[in-house]
Structure 1
Amino acid sequence: MSANDFERRVRAVEWYRYEHDCCSAFIPDVIIGLISGDDVRRQESCDRLEDCLLPQGVLVEASYHAIPFLVELIREGMAPGCVYELLVLMTIAAQSDAYDEGIRVNGNLRSLTESSRGRIADGLGSYCRDLQNRNLSKDRRLAALSIVCRLRERRDEWLPLIRRVYDAEQDPEMRREMLYWLSDVEQEGKGTA
């Protein structure tokens, strides 16, 4: 992924269409700033990311359009930690339809939370890769674990991986978190059996 191509694609989105969303005019600069070589600009983008894409903890239409760019940064190994943190919060927000304003996708009105969740799930392979990578920070690995385990509809894909990673994991905190999620999934399975 070239930075110039990434910037061109981010700027090609008609962000002005989401003026009712908080900070929509700033979203392209915030997303592009995440890969800036300038540490100050990158930190400023991280600081504004949640306010722009998850105002008051609620998914907005601009969130849906920004998620593929955030997932791409993770897939390419270019995402700062704040992207993982935001995707954890977005995944949590996408578990509830309480504030679902709906979204038009290919001319059809759909659930914003369900559609956003699908876009977050598109990065499942990358989150699983990062969870297994012991060279990444513990915070990043824990965020990847949190995203993966909240994608319950894809449990059949990630559950065997979590078990394998758990069996090989040396870090006690990582093992404890994985055990928590594994127990939670098993309890959920007992409740539906």
Structure 2
Amino acid sequence: MTSSYLRNPALLGILVAGGLAFGSSAMAAPEGLYSADELLDADVYTQADPDDEIGEVEDILLDNDMQVRAIVIDTGNLLDMGERQYVLEAGQFTVETQNGNDIENIEYRVMVDMSEEELTQQPEYTNDWWQNARQGAQEAWEQTKQGAASAWETTQEGASQALDRIGQALENVGERTQDAASE
């Protein structure tokens, strides 16, 4: 089940041009350019057992800035818990590139620095999670926007007060200079 927004060439170009910014701790050796299409369905492994596949990338979640916010790992029946999909935030995984010099043969391996048990403790990718995450992101955006507006208003008010004080000081200097000249 591939998301339709990743099939949009313009959006895919923005995503790839954005470098799939996984966060500063998410990539050991950045390649500079990544293919979202190739990342989808990439095999997922744990750092503790890099030869035992635990799932594959089902989806890539982007924020308003088109930066990678998280990936969704589909475990299928690999964890003996039935098919489950888990959300891993940027910084909880790394991406290793294989055959990076050949677009026809490029492959990615996603490495998770947690055990299979720890993976099952991550949020499940469900409609409830989606709705809560969207609401939380919208609230965070509104708070950021309000905080930025408030900071701008405070800056403007402070600058205005400073200019008023400077104007008053100049006026006082001017009055004293006139008084000194008339004496």
Tell me the TM-score range normalised by the shorter chain: under 0.3
TM normalised by structure 1 equals 0.23
TM normalised by structure 2 equals 0.24
Larger radius of gyration between Structure 1 and Structure 2? 2
Q: Which has the higher strand share?
A: 2
Q: Which has the higher helix share?
A: 1
